[in-house]
Amino acid sequence: MPQFIIFIDFDYFFAQVEEILNPEIREKPVVVCVYSGRTETSGAVATSNYLARKIGIKSGMPLPQAMKIGKDRAVFLPIRKDLYKEWSDHIMDIISEYSDKIEIASIDEAYIDVTDSCKDFNDAVNTAQKIKDEIYNKTGVRVSVGVSVNKAIAKVLGDMAKPNGIKSVGPSEIQDFLKGLEISKIPGVGKVIGQRLNDAGIKYITDVINADRDQLINIIGTAKYNYLYDIANNTYNKPVTPREKKNFGRYMTLPENTRDVNIIIPYVKKAIDSAYEKAPGLPSELSLVAIMEDISILSRSYTGARIDKNRALEIAIGLLNRIINEDQRNIRRVGVRLGKITKNETLDDFF
């Protein structure tokens, strides 16, 4: 039975979050920067939106060069890692509701295996669309999605789907797709290796099948040769590998945007119940997360001794009140995140 793998890429993630929080910059080139601190303009570009890329500003570019290109046109913003991590965690929680088999590849990329929950490939594609729609409806973040029979091809399709698209290649289409897939599109094949393979007569991934094995191993090594050969033969099946989760959370949508704690608290309690069901032990850290009416995210945290579920509600209400007292906006969604988990001990642990 083939795998059904979904790859999800958060489009120009850092810059997109900044656009959502400040809609006035959405129609401008937006550049998120890592400042080195040596001078006011020293540093590099972390990421940029598509308008900035159109005028030539790309990730990794030295900041003085980017500022020269974007002078009087682009908006330059300092990177806010903690903010983006909060948004990423929220989106990953949405994705994880669709399968326990989720591999977080980076802050803005994830694979999810839906083989066990989907009856066929069309069902997997429909699930991918649901995930995409739910992420946008709950966060405003646009994502690109690839769906296929393995992780490598799902990522290829996710890259092809940018921006804000979805592409799929199922079991009945995969052989024809591979015949026309350029070797340079395969994940892990950069410009240098791609050029070496082109020089050896390898333009498409399926060219690897009939190529001289020893020659290719001499160029790219045994491991990479086996990887490309398996993809070319449609036998590549490296599994989605879930990382051990360090945080467990749950978000709830309120019936209306509100600041009324009497309306919000029952949803906080539901979020706590769900988060504690997921967690393998008791947390020493609890965060109350509020998604405001403009989709910006605020959170307040408590760290202390192990927190049982009875204390969690009291702590969460205190954190909620802090947010309401410090911010005048209505709350759209509310969530609870548990961290610093200490696993529960059972009798089995002693034998």
pLDDT confidence bin for 306, thresholds 50/70/90: very high
The per-residue pLDDT for 41 is 82
Which residue in this structure is represented by tokens 């709950």? 138
Query: E strands of 185-306, at which residues?
Result: 248-258, 281-292, 297-303
pLDDT digits (tens, 9 = 90+) for 267-295: 999 999 999 998 889 999 999 999 998 88
Catalytic residue among 103, 109, 134, 285: 109
CATH of domain 1-166: 3.30.70.270
CATH 3.30.1490.100 domain position(s) in the chain: 248-349
- Give the strand order in the sheet containing 297-303: 248-258, 331-343, 281-292, 297-303
CATH 1.10.150.20 domain position(s) in the chain: 174-232
Contact 187, 195 (CB under 8 A): no
- Give the strand order in the sheet containing 5-10: 102-106, 109-113, 5-10, 143-148, 166-168
- Tell me what percent of the residues of the chain surpass a pLDDT of 90: 84
| Exposure class string for 159-188: b at 16+ Cβ within 10 A, else e | eebbeebbbbbbeeebeebbeebebbbbbe
Q: Which range is least confidently modeled, 115-124, 169-178, 305-314, 338-347? A: 338-347
* Pairwise CA distance, residues 167 & 161, whole Å: 6
On the question of pLDDT at 108 being above 60, the answer is yes
- The architecture that CATH gives domain 174-232 is Orthogonal Bundle (1.10)
The per-residue pLDDT for 39 is 79
- Tell me what percent of the residues of the chain surpass a pLDDT of 70: 97
pLDDT confidence bin for 99, thresholds 50/70/90: very high
Residue 331: strand pairing partners: 258, 292
On the question of pLDDT at 142 being above 80, the answer is yes
On the question of pLDDT at 56 being above 50, the answer is yes
Which residue in this structure is represented by tokens 């993630």? 13
pTM of the complete model:
0.81
Q: Is 108 annotated as a binding residue?
A: yes
Q: How is domain 248-349 classified at the CATH fold level?
A: Dna Ligase; domain 1 (3.30.1490)
Report the alpha-carbon angle 280-127-105, nearest 5. Answer: 55
Which residue in this structure is represented by tokens 């059904």? 4
One-letter identity of residue 10: F
Contact 293, 332 (CB under 8 A): yes
CATH 3.30.70.270 domain position(s) in the chain: 1-166
Q: Is 9 annotated as a binding residue?
A: yes
pLDDT digits (tens, 9 = 90+) for 162-206: 999 999 999 999 999 999 999 999 999 988 899 999 999 999 999
109 in active site: yes
